[in-house]
Structure formats: C-alpha cells, structure tokens
Structure 1
Amino acid sequence: MASTTTNKEVEKELLPLVRVYKDGSVERLLGSPYVPPSSPDADPTTGVSSKDITSISQNPAISLSARLYLPKLTDHHQKLPIFVYFHGGGFCIESAFSFLNHRYLNILVSEARVLAVSVEYRLAPEHPLPAAYEDCWAALQWVASHRNKIDDHENYSSNNKEAWLLNHGDFERVFIGGDSAGGNIVHNIAMRAGEGDHDNHESSLKESTGVKILGAFLGHPYFWGSNPIGSEPVGDNRENNFLHLSWEFVYPTAPGGIDNPMVNPVGEGKPNLAKLGCSRLLVCVAEKDQLRDRGIWYFNAVKESGFQGEAELFEVKGEDHAFHFFNPKTEIAKIMFQTLSSFLNN
C-alpha cells in the first residue's frame, strides 16, 4: 500500500490521524499547527500570558516540557488554583504547543483565573503507552515539588523550579484535567495519585510530596471495552470501530488489550475507584458523542464505589465530542467553560 503523497510503503495507519511507513517515518494527518507562547498584548482578548518550560523531568533520559499560563493579575502576590492539563488527540496527535490547545487554555485561564500547566507528553506510535501516563505523572510531580520550595526563591532556577508556580501557585488547590484521551489520562493519574505504584514501591502523591489533588476534570473521556454498553456498536462493527482500533494502535502491548484497566476501568480486574486521589470529580459528556454512555457508566461506577469525595456529571444536549474545544465561541461552549470555571473555583 502506498501513500498518495509520498509514494512510500505504509506499514500501518490509524485513519484519519496517523500513518506509519515501513522506513520508520510517521506522518500525522491531523492536528493544529504550533504557535508560540503569548504576552497579554499578543492576546488582548484574554490578557493571558504564557511561556514554555523546556525541561521539567527529573529523569535526564526523558525530555519533558510544558506551557504555563497566567491570567492578568491585579495583585502581584495573588495565589491561584493550579490546573495541570493533559491534552487530547488520541494519544498520537496535537501538542501542548498547538493552536487549538493554546486557544482553549487562554480562554479557560482567563475565565477561571487559574495558573495552568499544559503538559507536552510523548506521543504514540513513536512512544506507545504507557509513555504518556509516565510523562504526565512526572509533570504532576514536578508541579508538586514546588510546594516545599516557596521560600527558596534564590535557588529555583538551578533546582529546576518555576517562578510562576512559586509566586502564584496555591498548593492547597491543585486540579488536574483533560479532554478525550486527556480525560483518560486524568483518570489514570488520579488513580496513581491515590494508590501510588505498588510495583515500584511508590507511595501516593500526598505521601510523597505533601500535595493532594483537590479536583479532577474528565471532559468526554476516552474509555472503551470489549463488551458494548448503551448505544455502542456490536460485533464486527465494534472491533473495526475507530475507538477500538485506536487503543490497539497506541498501546499494542497492553495486558488484556481493550479491557486493560487503563482504558476499561469498570471491566474485569477493575481498579478500586474509591481510591481516586482527589476530593472532587467532574465528568462531562455530550449527547451525540460515541463515548457518552461509557462516560456515564464510569461516573456511576465511581459513585457506587464508595468514593468519599464529591462527584458531578455534566451532560450537554445536542453536541458531539469535544465541541467546546473545536468551537469555543458558541453559546453552549461558553456554558461549558463557565461550568469548568466554577469547578476550579469552588
């Protein structure tokens, strides 16, 4: 099979997102372009400042970066909720530095008045899962590591610390969030924050850093499984469904395949959802989204698990997957942003 544009032989593909050629090269067929960080003058509508941090990993073998966002401040000593964001894109496209994510976070940061950290995690297929999970966990630990350095400003540069987090981050109000694949990441990071990693003798986030996640937002989260629920496709239509094929593409070695607990947290061998490492949970779904029923099933499973925090489900009628991300200026998208803002400030 040959590409119509390059005449190179295709090894595998996940259409319409990614194509992998037999020479090892990868072509991303969708995704918005890179945009630089901006100053308030460059984005006068929101007044949000942003900057890129090119090295936030404590593992020198991994190059991990992030884009930070700060709303316009009236008080230069103001402390803000910290929102660590994991972008969507099926684990294989988009970026913390892409136009759509930059626009989205500018709007949300301006509306909610939070300090946001958008994580540039490694993408499949070059870096199959669980690479993205490991990167996002490392990024959250980097953010949390600032908690004990607030009085050590003179050394923050040499110690891989960031002034915006030191000066304006409120470590009693730490949130994580993400849309689509990012929502899946949020669930898995919240589980790890609550339980730790027993295989690596790792304690919970609170025990290891002193930071507890106050809230977790899952926007149209990507969950799936072999057994259909609700209006999900069945039979061959299911196994050939994009949502089924995409997991095999981004995590081909996943134990249990499509029923791995990282993508099917309510299936066989499911984790104890009562141990989610957050105090508040917001799950958002859209009526026309193929992931809707699975998101509601997840929310109900959390509620029935004995989870001790507050859990809220927010459904938008008449809209499809990630509508607020692609069309943020519609009236219904504005309601979605208001819902997220309220969640991050209550």
Structure 2
Amino acid sequence: MEALEDVRGVLKVFRDGSIFRLDVSHLFIQANEQTEQGGVATKDVILNQNLGLWVRIYLPSVAPDVRLPVMLYFHGGGFCLASPGTTDFHNFSAKLAATAGVMIVSVNYRLAPEHRLPAAYEDCFSALQWLNSGSESETWVRSYADPEKVYLLGDSAGGNIVHQVILRCGKKAKEWIKGAILLQPFFGGEERKRSEVDCVAEAFLSVQLSDAYWRLSLPSDCHADRDHPYCNPLGPRSPDLREVEFPPLLVALGGKDVLRDRGLEYCEELKKMGKEVDVVLFEEEEHAFYALKLHSDSAQQLTQHISRFLHS
C-alpha cells in the first residue's frame, strides 16, 4: 500500500489511516544503564499510566545538602519521534546534568500522528504542574531539587513546546519558571524564510521534512496550515505575545539550520516587546548539533552558555 507520508522509513502513514513505526528499541537506553557519562544516576517515574506520561530524572553526583536547579526538558523529534531514552537525547541529558550541575527531568510526551497537538503541550504542562506541586513524593526531587530554580529546556519540537507551555502558565509563568532555554525551536509558517529556501534536501532537517512533521502533528481540521498558532507564534491567528509574562529566555540557533530565520525573527519580535531574550548563534552549525555532535566545540560552548544562564 502506498504511504501518504514517509518520514525516512521510520514512520509511515497509509491511505487507510494505518501507521507503521519502525522498531528502534535498539536505540533506547534504559534508566540506570551504563552510559558514557559517569557520575549521573537516572530513573524513570510514571506520572500518568493511561497516557503513557513519564519522566526520566538525571541526578549528577552531589553532596547531600546541595540543592540543584531543576530543568524540565522536552526532547525534539518533530512531535512524531523519540523519547527521553533515545540514545542521542539520553546522552545529551546526562552530559548536561553533569557539566552544568543541574537535575534534569526529561518528559516522555505523546507523539503524533496518533496523538496530534495539543497532546504534547498538555502532557508537558502536566509535567510542569507535577514538578511544581505534586512531586514531593519523589525522593530525588524532594531531597536535591531547588523549588525556586525551575527552568524549561526544549530542543527543536521541544523548543516549540517550551513556548506553548509558557503560554499555558498564564500569570504564573514567572512564579513557576525562573528561565527557559530554547534550542533551535521548531516553528513554521506559510511564507518561506530565506533559511528555508536555501536549505538542501539532504540536511538532517530539510524544509520538506519539516513540512511533513507539521502535516502529521497539527490538528486535523481545515484551519491547520502552517500559520496555525501551534506552528507560527507570530502568525496572523496567533495570540498577542505582548501580554505574555515570559521568564528570561536563552535561545540557541544554528547558522546553517533550516529554522535559523524563524528563530531570529521570534527573538527580535520578543525583544521589541520588552522581553528578556539572550540569543546565541552558532554560525557553522546545522540542526541538532548539540546532540548529534555531543563533544564538538559548539556543543561544549552551548553547555557553558546554559550553565551561566542557570547559575547567574
């Protein structure tokens, strides 16, 4: 049967609505499994069994009386792929926890197209609510987390989720979140930007693949084009961001990333509105360099930027 959508053979959607997902369990690292990053303990905590909502906690070696900043992490994957246990995201989380001295709580949210947006937003917002008010029963959070220092971190689709979670916080955004970090946030729009036009089809994230992710993840209604508010935060149907109480933001972009120009425009518009936004542009990097090239100079520099942001 012909596939209507084919995401690199990993995910296929057929004309009859059936879905094929390639078994990539060999790329999944279990909690407490040995990783290349020593000194970081991990464990999984179920938040909602029915939804398949769980988090993986990364705890770096720390003295018993030390309280760590907590980073709620939303992984990338175009809303359609991956989990906290996916090798690249797991190793990225473990390394960041160790080098930045932070407890990371990585969220396993529902994936599209089985669960279209806003399912991922709802799951990640629920995880933030749990972290702020319902996590006292979790031993590591109770013993080592600093409740006054909760941050959001998201890469690609996860960066998009960070934006949407902040919107859902309303007036409590600055009360619940000390700061937020968006790594190459996954935004789109009907009008093409220069970085989208210039992007080659062989890129890790091409404009063609980006469009496919949006077709698979946006709500299945007649208004779900790329100017939908979930996709385009600055679009004609999106909420006015001037009234949103954003916490301080750190946004990292890649100079050779298809999402570069949308990220730059997002940051510039927020700055014009008086929001506190620190932008770091890695001119020579493509999409997801921080996870795919974990030990590169750019990835190390990004970790330093994140660490300063957390501990300033």
What is the TM-score with the length of structure 2 in the denominator? 0.89
Give the match's secondary structure for 2:73. Answer: strand
Are 1:27 and 2:21 counterparts? yes
Are 1:71 and 2:47 counterparts? no
| In 2, Cα distance between equivalents of 1:277 and 1:291 | 24
The alpha-carbon distance between structure 1 residues 277 and 119, as it changes in their structure 2 partners (threshold 3 A), is farther
Query: For residue 245 of structure 1, what is the aligned residue in structure 2?
Result: 212
Are 1:46 and 2:28 counterparts? no
Give the match's secondary structure for 1:69. Answer: strand
Query: For residue 180 of structure 2, what is the aligned residue in structure 1?
Result: 216
Judge conservation of contact 2:252–2:280 (CA < 8 Å) in 1. yes
Matches within 5 A, 1:144-183: 144-146=132-134, 149=136, 156=137, 162-183=138-159
Query: 1:272: how far off?
Result: 2.7
Query: 1:338: how far off?
Result: 1.2
What is the TM-score with the length of structure 1 in the denominator? 0.81
Query: For residue 188 of structure 1, what is the aligned residue in structure 2?
Result: 164
Query: For residue 299 of structure 2, what is the aligned residue in structure 1?
Result: 333
What is the identity, as a one-letter code, of the residue corresponding to 1:283? V
Query: 1:77: how far off?
Result: 2.0
Judge conservation of contact 2:177–2:247 (CA < 8 Å) in 1. yes
Larger radius of gyration: 1
The alpha-carbon distance between structure 1 residues 273 and 144, as it changes in their structure 2 partners (threshold 3 A), is same
Greater Cα offset, 286-295 or 298-307: 298-307
| In 1, Cα distance between equivalents of 2:24 and 2:257 | 19
Number of corresponding residues:
302
What is the identity, as a one-letter code, of the residue corresponding to 2:289? F
What is the identity, as a one-letter code, of the residue corresponding to 1:245? A
Q: 1:238-283, CA deviations, whole angstroms, 9 ceiling, x for partnerless residues?
A: xx83322321111242644210112101111322323444421011
The alpha-carbon distance between structure 1 residues 298 and 336, as it changes in their structure 2 partners (threshold 3 A), is same
Give the match's secondary structure for 1:186. Answer: helix
Identity %: 36
Are 1:228 and 2:192 counterparts? yes
Greater Cα offset, 17-26 or 325-334: 17-26
Are 1:140 and 2:140 counterparts? no
| In 1, Cα distance between equivalents of 2:67 and 2:18 | 47
The alpha-carbon distance between structure 1 residues 25 and 230, as it changes in their structure 2 partners (threshold 3 A), is closer
Give the match's secondary structure for 1:314. Answer: strand
| In 2, Cα distance between equivalents of 1:18 and 1:44 | 29
Query: For residue 200 of structure 1, what is the aligned residue in structure 2?
Result: none
Are 1:344 and 2:310 counterparts? yes
Uncovered stretches (5+) of structure 2, i.e. residues with no partner: 202-206
Q: Aligned-residue CA RMSD in angstroms?
A: 2.4
Give the match's secondary structure for 1:122. Answer: coil
Uncovered stretches (5+) of structure 1, i.e. residues with no partner: 1-8, 150-155, 157-161, 196-203
